[in-house]
Amino acid sequence: MWVELVLSAALLFLLWQVLKKPSDLPPGRWGLPLVGYVPLPFKSIRDHIRDLYKKHGSIYIWRMGVHNIVFLHDQKMAREAYTSTDFIDRPPWQIFCINEKSPKGVLGSNGLLWQNNRRFALRQLRDLGMGKSKLVAAVHTQAAMMVEEFEKQAGRPACIPHAMSVAVVNIIWQMVGNIQFEVSDPKYIEFREAVDSVMDSAKNLFIYDLFPWLEKILPTSILNWICHLDLVEDAKEKFFHYFKEVIAEHKETLDRDNPRDLIDTYLMEMEKDSPDSTYSERDLCFLILDLFNTGSLTIRDTTVWMIFYLANHPKVQEKLQRELDEVLPRGTLPSLKDKPRLPYTEAVVHELLRITSLFGLGGQHVATRDTKLGGYTIPKGSVITSVISEIHRDTRHWDNPDDFLPERWITEEGKFSAKREGFMPFGVGKRQCVGEGLALMEVFMFTVALFQAFTFTPPPGKLMDLRPDSNNPKGNNPRLMQEVVATVRQ
Ligand code: HEM
């Protein structure tokens, strides 16, 4: 009897030792092996994160499925981690590499292939766009097209016109493949449906990422039914079929002395005989997919939020319009050299990026070796993520963080100052957003074009609902479908 009791106690003790969270790890939620701590669905992820922050402070761990996820609420700690080579890689998650055995493109890849693609994408964005007139001209054209479409629905409550989605896609296509869609082009619908089906089908991949052992215990049909692996594969191949046609056309008409766009330049890189080359046609498809995934709806959503925020803040809208009227003749869009003369417009754009925090969570990176952060051990394989939405509301950096106050970006001399600790809508460090310059330029130009032409107000007797979608810290907010009134300015 005593022997059994002692043995049971020893077994329980051993089990507890195996299951408990090692003491040198950050505090947080540990849960059970293989499943971790699965959140209950009636509470939003945003609320869970706020509770954990209140309980544990700026760094805590949440074991989800088989992964240790470390959340960072402190901008200094986030900067330290994201600039360290220990955290340079993406986790090998299907959600990033879209079910590709060896990840390609730039968003989900690692190592030499990532370095080559990131350098290539940055060079392309620099050569074709940021600061160069070709892409600025494309943005001007799309802004003018958007204004025309808003005119058609002026004076009455209406949703944001579909033209805005076409405009942002056209800007990426201009850079990538020298292609443009008309607003009512059926080919645009076909293209949009192909992008959406990749995005939609990829939504359940996180289940596979968190519980990869499901593959070992479930028949393929059930695994596919839960994680949509087969749907992702179909959608991806359909999408790539579309790209392959465009790439084939480019191959036929390639003029090596006059590369027209990203595809031409990539094809020329493929022809180079370099031992470090990672370029391939399949990789090009992934790179293009990444640029559409990261660079189109982000801009559309930010512009929609700009309209909704300014509709609810008429004084800010009036001040912005006064500045635009003083600096630019009506209907003229600014060149980049006009930017310094529009400090309030710059301030509004930055304040909007802060308060909306389009990506509530920063990019997920993985620890490539056992390392230390904030005095805690971070074991190899742990995933880190900054909580951008909370860093953007941290009272150490922002007075009255819940207020929309563009003035906080203006110096005593009346100039715009972008240097703010605790501002990181595009992430920080080695994998900081590749399209930051393009994004800032697009949102700036669209804001000028739209608010020169229209005054935006909520529908009569209403206010715009500006709450973020708390269950969806990564975006795709259904509140973007609200109606708003655009009145033509006299
Ligand atoms: C308002 C608009 C945008 C926001 C808020 C935004 C934000 C971000 C964030 C937070 C990351 C993750 C960084 C990390 O993992 O540490 C990221 C990555 C990335 N973004 Fe953006 N982005 C925007 C627009 C764009 C545009 C217009 C493009 C391209 C044309 C773009 C291309 C990328 C790419 C390729 C990456 C992956 C970089 C890498 O892994 O090396 N983004 N972005």
Q: Quick check: CB of 169 below 6 Å from ligand 1?
A: no
Average pLDDT over residues 304-308: 97
- Report the CATH number that the domain containing residue 398 is assigned in CATH: 1.10.630.10
Domain range enclosing 111: 22-488
pLDDT tens digits for 227-272?
998 998 888 888 888 889 999 999 999 999 999 999 999 999 999 9
Evaluate whether residue 6 is within a structural domain.
no
Query: 4 pLDDT exceeds 80?
Result: no
pLDDT of residue 8: 72
Task: Give pLDDT tens digits for 18-73.
Answer: 567 787 899 998 888 888 988 777 788 888 898 999 999 999 999 999 999 999 99
**208 CA to middle of ligand 1, Å?**
24
pLDDT in tens, 376-435: 999 999 999 999 999 999 999 999 999 999 999 999 999 999 878 899 999 999 999 999
Whether 393 is in a domain gets the answer yes
Please report the atom of ligand 1 found closest to the CA of residue 432. 13
pLDDT the model gives residue 192 = 83
- pLDDT per residue as tens digits for the range 322-373: 999 999 988 888 877 788 899 999 999 999 999 999 999 999 999 999 999 9
Distance 33 CA to ligand 1 centre (A): 33
Tell me if 137 is assigned to some domain: yes
361-391 pLDDT, tens digit each: 999 999 999 999 999 999 999 999 999 999 9
Domain annotation covers residue 342: yes
- Ligand 1: which residue has its CA nearest to atom 4? 426
| Residue 345 placed within a domain | yes
Q: Whose CA is nearest to atom 42 of ligand 1?
A: 435
Domain count, the chain: 1
- The answer to whether residue 216 is domain-embedded is yes
3-state per-residue secondary structure call for 233-278: HHHHHHHHHHHHHHHHHHHHHCCCCCCCCHHHHHHHHHHCCCCCCC
Asked if residue 5 belongs to a domain, the reply is no
DSSP string, 476-489: --GGGG--EEEEE-
Closest C-alpha among 45, 110, 119, 83 to residue 427:
83
Q: Percent of the chain, pLDDT > 90?
A: 65
> Which ligand 1 atom is at minimum distance from the Cα of 359?
10
Are 95 and 202 contacting, i.e. CB atoms less than 8 angstroms apart? yes
